[in-house]
Structure 1
Amino acid sequence: MLDTSLIIMVVVLALVFDFINGFHDTANAIATCVSTRAIRPGVAIVGTAILNFLGAMISTGVAKTIGGDIVVSPTLVNEMIIIAGLVGAIIWNLLTWWVGMPSSSSHALIG
């Protein structure tokens, strides 16, 4: 039962991180085209959401790099380590967003 609750917590935290990643990093991707009025903000946000989703479904390069090159011993990574990483990245993203400091959600997650 404990393992199931930890897995559910990992999934929920991953979804929260993904949501925060979306509003944290989307502005960086669309700032230039919106500020120059090349694209309306609503169109830019929808386009970014679609392209981010497609990129996550098509490309697995980052996941392969983290799983194969950065994590040397996968046996040391359990649900608690993943939860700690997600919580740390969520807090960092919210803190940097709140103070207006540019940062990368991917770097926060790896850190």
Structure 2
Amino acid sequence: MTSIIVGIALVIGSLFALSAALGLLRFKDVYMRMHAASKAGTLGSGLLLLALALHAGEMDVATRAIAGVCFFLLTAPVSAHLLARAAYIVGYKPCDMTVRDALAEAQDGKKQ
């Protein structure tokens, strides 16, 4: 039963990692690409690490794998946010498909 759960987690994690890689190739601007990398990449790598923890069956390996999942969950959203904000401040504007530019609206509100 454990082998089946590990196999399913590996396949689903690999599909999320693949979708993150495809998002990096296909999306139009830095913000969309960053979103794909941070969300799908974090979920994919998290599932792969959890599959490792289940498959290993040793407590020290499982502890390190769970610590890695926690590390990804804590650092990926924060780093993606900081990189997106830095890109916006430097001057990278969102693509034409972007419906709402919340940072521009916030800056306009401060100027008035």
TM norm structure 1? 0.29
TM norm structure 2? 0.29
Larger RCO (CA within 8 A; separation ≥ 6): 1
| Greater Rg by CA | 2
